[in-house]
Amino acid sequence: MAPSSSPIVTDSLDPSTPTETLDNDLQPFFVLHKPSSRRKDRSSTGQGKQRKRNELSSPQNTKKQEGSVNEECDYHLFKPLQIEAFNSVWSRIESTIKDVLRDLNSSAFKDIQRWILECFNAARLHGEPNITEATRSFPILSNATPGQLSAALVITRNIEFVDDILTFEELGHFLKSHGCHVAKLSSVDFSMKNGIAGCLKALLREFPLGEIDSADISILASWYREQDNNNKPLVLIISDLERCCGSVLTEFVLMLSEWVVKLPVILIIGVATTVDALRNALPSCALQCLCSSKFMIGTPDERMDTIVEAVLVKHSTTFNIGHKVALFLRNYFINQDGTLTSFIRALKLACLLHFSMEPVSLIHGHMLAEDQKDWISALSPEILLKYMDEFPSYDRSQIASQAGKSIAQGLSDLITEKKLWSTAVLCLCEAGKYSKVRLLDLFCEVLNPDLYPHRDSVCHIRNEKDQGLSSTNGHSQQYSSVQTGGLIRQIVRKVRDLPTGALGQLIKRWEKLTADISEIHDKLKTFQSSVRCEDRRSPRKSSKDISKRYGSKASLDADNELTMLNLQAVAFIDCLVRNYMRPIECMPFHEISCFKNVEKLQVVLIGDPRRRIQADLLDSHKILRCSCCNKTGNALLPSRQDSSILYSLAQEHGDLINLHDWFQSFRTILHQTNKRKPKSKQSPQPKKRKDTAGSGDQNEASIQARFCRAVTEMQITGLLRMPSKRRPDFVQRVAFGL
């Protein structure tokens, strides 16, 4: 697309450009390959809201010619601003994610490092061979049992490996910075094809040895004993065990174990599934050379929760997603991919789409920079106003009349409200940890705008039940009967039944979380003080006593006290939910930072190429928009593409397609061009003889050739399987419906 033609402008002036739909179809590929240029051509999505805005703005444009000219200039100004805003926001999010993941892994990394030092020192205790001993070819003679290789199995607990590439890279950096020689090998180095030589070559490449002719482990031993290199432990990271070729790995382990005294390598092996993977991969003779310990790093669920917490909850002012988008991402994570990488990628795409689709979104990029003059000068207030007017949320917020002065006010309100919201969600999540509620699920529920109006009533129901609590204990049944708002309810139920000690911890954590937000903090304080008041009223019920009191006769009192405290906590949650947890989509001006367009993201992310190929083959005319097919609609015309015709014909057959029948019907359709007589369809066989010999033969041959080519094409796309020996005149359809 030519950079000079700005689609934003054309679109806003003339909403029904013919190129619009074409743009649509190309978009996934644009986004995937050229994100930066993609941003410029505004996503003319044809989504409802955008259209509506265009329609709304058009009468204004006709009224003020001047204004539209202004606008055009401003749009030109917007594009770099949009890019800039996206860059600043995304770089912020990205660095947050990185920090968070690093922090999450740090404890596991420290454990590993400690273990490495232990191994290293233990190996040194046995005595260091000197350089001559270490570089000799025969093993060092000792009376002790043959040394074992120390190996750390780092269990990543995710069948998909992508996320852990980064983890192991960081582990490598971490160990390097803590004084280890680190070498990283991956499954590519343990391939059947290259054998042990390839793997040794890769190993030696990791060390500063210069050009090496033939990879030999004795080189490494000489290097390690030279120039104080042996003061540091030698760590070898093999990042993905499952994909390694077992026999090569066996050879490698056996070779290392032969050298273990002279070259005390410490192995770190990444295991995606279970320890059994190693048992399956290596024979017993190699396994007994390993002295292994197990280390766990965070599960993908944990990591996901921390990312959601850091990016979407804590920094909710930066960028946020609507309920449907969140639900889509969650389902994609659980059902399809299960990797953080794809989640982050989806988030990035969402962010990108948001900035390219929402003209006002760039405000908040500047809002972040707190460089107000800049964006005000770029965006004339009237235009801004106009866009704001069209926000559905703005209408709902019922302050439209005094819009002029309240924009700034509204924006700052939005920020404070979001801060309150995120704190409230964090508090709820903290409470949810006792009932093992995952933040991602909670997040989806909290964002749901449909549930929001019901929440008040939910609270009422709960209060009623609270009153009846002391007498009945069948409340759990009643709760489960109500389906909506399940997670919050679940949390509340758990908090009510929480023992005192845990509750105290929870309140302490709440205090920590709310420390910066005075509004909620005050609420918490009043709730605590009310509890204290109760304590004072009955001085024997200090919190220390409570634990002692369990066994005593006053257990009934203690229970009462317990429920009082719990009820207070429940009331606090109640207050949070009611006052501060308005879903983001219900806040005014949320469009500035909230991305809601699921369909778009879905198309971009999943693509679903197989289904797409099949669908496109069936109605290719909709894409090609040729003149001939436009008239006839769905009917098969000879002018259509061969493979498209063949695929449409194949729909009439079942699993197996008789080649002869298929060819005949293909031929019939092609013959329609020459003679548009209905007879030709009925009897193609005699027709052939009637044709003049020369051209007819040629025609037949070319038809056959075209048939063959189309079938081959379909075979290559994976839709067909060629005839087998058993059924030589049938092809088999391979993928239907998938």
Residue numbers 142-201 binding another protein by CB under 8 A: 143-146, 148, 152-153, 155-161, 196-197, 200
Under 8 Å between Cβ of 311 and 93: yes
With respect to another protein, which residue has the nearer C-beta, 216 or 559? 216
Provide the minimum distance between the beta carbon of 209 and another protein in the complex, in angstroms, as a whole number: 6
Q: Nearest approach, Cβ of 212 to another protein (angstroms)?
A: 6
Q: How far is CA 712 from CA 249, 480, 666, in A?
A: 41, 57, 15
Q: Please, which residue, 4 or 335, has the CB nearer to another protein?
A: 335
* 344 is a site residue for another protein (CB under 8 A): no
Of 20, 84, 94, 128, the residue at the interface with another protein (CB under 8 A) is 128
According to the binding rule CB under 8 A, does residue 613 interact with another protein? no
* C-beta closer to another protein: residue 331 or 658: 331
Candidates 114, 525, 536, 677: give the one binding another protein (CB under 8 A): 114
Give me the amino acid identity at 541: K
With beta carbons less than 8 A apart as the criterion, state whether 311 and 101 touch. no
DSSP string for residues in 435-470: GT--HHHHHHHHH-TTTHHHHHHHHHHHHHHHHHHT
- Give the CA distances from residue 478 to residues 89, 465, 470, 577, in Å, rounded to whole numbers and listed in that order: 45, 9, 15, 20
Amino acid of residue 461: I
CB of 469 to another protein, least distance (A): 23
Q: Using CA atoms, how far apart are residues 87 and 81, in angstroms rounded to an integer?
A: 10
> Residue 29 to residues 25, 170, 295, 609: CA-CA distances in angstroms?
9, 32, 41, 12
Kindly write out the interface string for residues 701-730 of this chain, putting x where it contacts another protein by CB under 8 A and - elsewhere: --------------xx-x--xx--------
Rounded to the nearest whole angstrom, what is the least distance from the CB of residue 328 to another protein in the complex? 8
Nearer to another protein, 22 or 285 (CB): 285
Q: Which is nearer to another protein, 217 or 439 (CB)?
A: 217
| CB of residue 278 to another protein, shortest distance in Å | 7
- Tell which residue, 714, 578, 572, has the closest CA to residue 645: 714
DSSP string, 630-680: HHHTTS--TTS-HHHHHHHHHTTS-SEEEHHHHHHHHHHHHHTTT---THH
Q: Minimum distance from CB of 652 to another protein (Å)?
A: 20
Segment interacting with another protein, rule: CB under 8 A, options 58-66, 133-141, 376-384, 387-395: 133-141
- Does 254 help bind another protein (rule: CB under 8 A)? yes
Position 52, amino acid: K
When binding is defined by CB under 8 A, the residue of 2, 125, 693, 738 that contacts another protein is 738
Separation of alpha carbons 93 and 537, rounded Å: 50
Which residues does residue 150 pair with via DSSP β-bridges, in sequence order?
266, 291
Q: Of 291 and 515, which CB lies nearer to another protein in the complex structure? A: 291
User: Residue 297 Cβ, how far from another protein at the closest point, in Å?
Assistant: 11
Question: Which residues inside 469-508 make contact with another protein, applying CB under 8 A?
Answer: 499, 501-502, 505
Instruction: Please give the residues from 53 up to 72 whose contact with another protein meets the rule CB under 8 A.
Output: none
228-247 positions binding another protein, by CB under 8 A: 228, 230, 242-243
Longest dimension (CA), the chain: 114
Distance CA 469, CA 462 (A): 10
Please say which residue, 297 or 388, places its beta carbon nearer to another protein.
Answer: 297
Q: Which is closer to another protein, CB of 210 or CB of 633?
A: 210
Least CB distance to another protein at residue 111 (A): 5
User: Strand 730-733 and strand 265-271: pairing?
Assistant: unpaired
Kindly state the smallest distance separating residue 335's Cβ from another protein, in Å: 4
Number of residues in contact with another protein under rule CB under 8 A:
104
Q: Give the C-alpha distances (Å, rounded to integers) separating 598 from 47, 275, 442, 607.
A: 11, 39, 19, 13
Is residue 606 a contact point for another protein (CB under 8 A)?
A: yes
Tell me which stretch binds another protein (CB under 8 A): 93-101, 140-148, 409-417, 566-574. 140-148
- Which regions of 14-93 does DSSP assign to beta strands (E)? none
| Minimum CB–partner distance for residue 510 and another protein (Å) | 18
> Where does this chain touch another protein (CB under 8 A) — which range of 248-256, 356-364, 559-567, 671-679?
248-256
Report the residue number, 155 or 601, with the smaller CB distance to another protein: 155
CB 488 within 8 A of CB 445: yes
Tokens at 310, concatenated: 């850091």
Q: Is 656 in the site for another protein (CB under 8 A)?
A: no
Q: What would the two tokens of residue 629 be?
A: 């097919």
Q: Which stretch binds another protein (CB under 8 A): 270-278, 388-396, 592-600, 663-671?
A: 270-278
Which residue among 218, 543, 664, 699 contacts another protein (CB under 8 A)?
A: 218
Position among 104, 149, 202, 272 found at the interface with another protein (CB under 8 A)? 272
Give the list of residues 6+ apart from residue 163 with CB closer than 8 angstroms, or none: 156, 300, 303, 339, 340, 341
Residue 630 CA to residue 628 CA, distance in Å, equals 6
205 binds another protein (CB under 8 A): no
